[in-house]
Structure 1
Amino acid sequence: MDQVRRAPLADQAAELLLERIRAGSWPLGAKLPGETTLAPQLGVGRSTVREAIRQLAGRGVLTSRQGAGVFVTALDAPEPWETVVHRADVTTVIEARIAIETEAANLAAQRRTPSELRAMRRALAERGLRRSRIEEHVDADTAFHRSIVLAAHNPLLIELFDSLTPRSRQAMIEMLRARGRFGEDTDQDDHLRLLEAVAERDGDAAAALSRAHLVAMREASS
């Protein structure tokens, strides 16, 4: 059994526990052995085991239940979301947008209100006017797509969309600069068709149009 060799002990103990969880020593939902069992296995004291468990609980891997013990609630500790997004390449960002915006378009067609539809129309009109500077065009495009995600009435989808926006904005600007053109009439028409599908409450068409637009963007970026 690997043991802790260097300080800080609690950090090292937490990493060893996490390695064992990743390796399958305890499946999802399993109860961990008690402190008296884990402490000698890790080569640390019981107080260090308690601190290691607190660390992994804070990372969402373990949870303590009063009077029941400590249980595995995740099989790995995810990296901070901001770190994952920051290092994502253009293709990865667009693929994430496909997942988010395709379903959002479908839901928006079913759930949008008259005021939300008016907001979409205003955002699309503004997008059509912003064709002289790449940054302004990307921001107007983002505002239009966000108006559709808002109309889906799903707080997780809008949270995901917003968390991707800084990296997506950067990727879009870089891609359009490399391509050397943007804001064509055909592109604006594609967005108008998406808006019309949402207006007509045609969820299948809205999802298909959203996906087709983003897939074409992904192919153009590769």
Structure 2
Amino acid sequence: MAHVQRHPLAAQAAELLLRRIRAGEWALGHKLPGETTLAAQLGVGRSTLREAIRELSGKGVLESRQGAGVFVTALDVAEDWDAILRRADIVAVIEARLAIEAESAALAAARRTPADLRALWRALAVRAEATGSVEELVDADTAFHRAVVTAAHNDILTGMFDAFIPRSRHAMVDMLRIRPLTDARADHHAHEVLLDAVRRRDAAAAASASRVHLTSLRDAFA
């Protein structure tokens, strides 16, 4: 007969600490009580407490600073991106893309290189020629938007955009099967306007073009 395994004491202590942090006992950036005090409060030894702190440090919730103590660096364990995106409504995904892509477009206008422009022109040309399957159009569209984000030269923004691709692609394919584009020419023109703003180094116009395009996309889903 299988028995329920007990969590090790350190894991239980880590969970208790996390509950107290979630409950607001210590604010972000706040220093935890000393080892002796905290170990007594949790009813564990100091070595167990240290292990619990190491566990929460590995999850980004706590940080041990040499000679200064242990500080709260997050108010909860960060959930896995994939799990969040699997649950996310497509409108929420597009709203997040709006935040990422409008800023990326502005940065791209300021930072783009001749190589970035060539990549954008190529991606736009491929998008114009994507007249086959819905999947082909969505992939070509995604490649263009990614080229804009890449031209911002910010690895964090690129990584965030890449995290959205699987969820966004699935939803876009579904939407276009149910509701094909009513005016493919106008949709493509919106991308030309964005590229032209990036080419002209007009950050405000690039951000606006990105925002207008994605807002209309979001409204079509809503």
Verify same fold: TM over 0.5.
yes
Q: Which residue does 1:146 correspond to in 2? A: 146
Q: Which residue does 2:198 correspond to in 1? A: 198
How big is the shift at 1:55?
0.8
Q: Any conservation in 2 of the 1:137–1:183 contact (CA below 8 Å)?
A: no
Structure 2 CA distance, aligned partners of 1:82 and 1:170?
A: 14
How big is the shift at 1:198?
1.1
Structure 2 CA distance, aligned partners of 1:18 and 1:114?
A: 49
**Partner amino acid, structure 2, of 1:165:** I
Q: Which residue does 2:87 correspond to in 1? A: 87
183 and 116 in structure 1: CA distance in 2 versus 1, 3 angstrom threshold: farther
Q: Which residue does 2:208 correspond to in 1? A: 208
How big is the shift at 1:42?
1.7
Q: Which residue does 1:121 correspond to in 2? A: 121
Deviates more, 1:105-114 or 1:173-182: 173-182
Q: Which residue does 1:66 correspond to in 2? A: 66
Q: CA RMSD in A?
A: 1.6
What SS does structure 2 have at the residue aligned with 1:63?
Answer: strand
Following superposition, which runs of at least 4 residues in structure 1 exceed 3 angstroms of deviation? 180-183
135 and 183 in structure 1: CA distance in 2 versus 1, 3 angstrom threshold: farther
What SS does structure 1 have at the residue aligned with 2:64?
Answer: strand
Q: Give yes or no for the alignment of 1:76 onto 2:76.
A: yes
Residues 154-196 of structure 1: CA deviation (Å, up to 9, x unaligned): 1111111111111111121112122134771111111111111
What SS does structure 1 have at the residue aligned with 2:101?
Answer: helix
Deviates more, 1:169-178 or 1:40-49: 40-49
Structure 2 CA distance, aligned partners of 1:142 and 1:104?
A: 14
Deviates more, 1:202-211 or 1:179-188: 179-188
Residues 39-73 of structure 1: CA deviation (Å, up to 9, x unaligned): 23222232221211111000111111223221111
Structure 2 CA distance, aligned partners of 1:84 and 1:182?
A: 31
Q: Which residue does 2:14 correspond to in 1? A: 14
Structure 1 CA distance, aligned partners of 2:216 and 2:139?
A: 19
Q: Which residue does 2:136 correspond to in 1? A: 136
116 and 183 in structure 1: CA distance in 2 versus 1, 3 angstrom threshold: farther
Deviates more, 1:136-145 or 1:168-177: 168-177
How big is the shift at 1:26?
1.7
Q: Any conservation in 2 of the 1:128–1:183 contact (CA below 8 Å)?
A: no
What SS does structure 2 have at the residue aligned with 1:37?
Answer: helix
**Partner amino acid, structure 2, of 1:155:** D
Q: Any conservation in 2 of the 1:10–1:48 contact (CA below 8 Å)?
A: yes
Structure 2 CA distance, aligned partners of 1:182 and 1:150?
A: 29
Q: Which residue does 1:176 correspond to in 2? A: 176
5+ residue gaps, structure 1, are: 1-5
How big is the shift at 1:143?
0.7
Deviates more, 1:22-31 or 1:121-130: 22-31
Q: Percent identity, aligned pairs only?
A: 62
Give the number of equivalent residue pairs: 217
Q: Which residue does 1:187 correspond to in 2? A: 187
How big is the shift at 1:203?
1.1
Deviates more, 1:175-184 or 1:42-51: 175-184
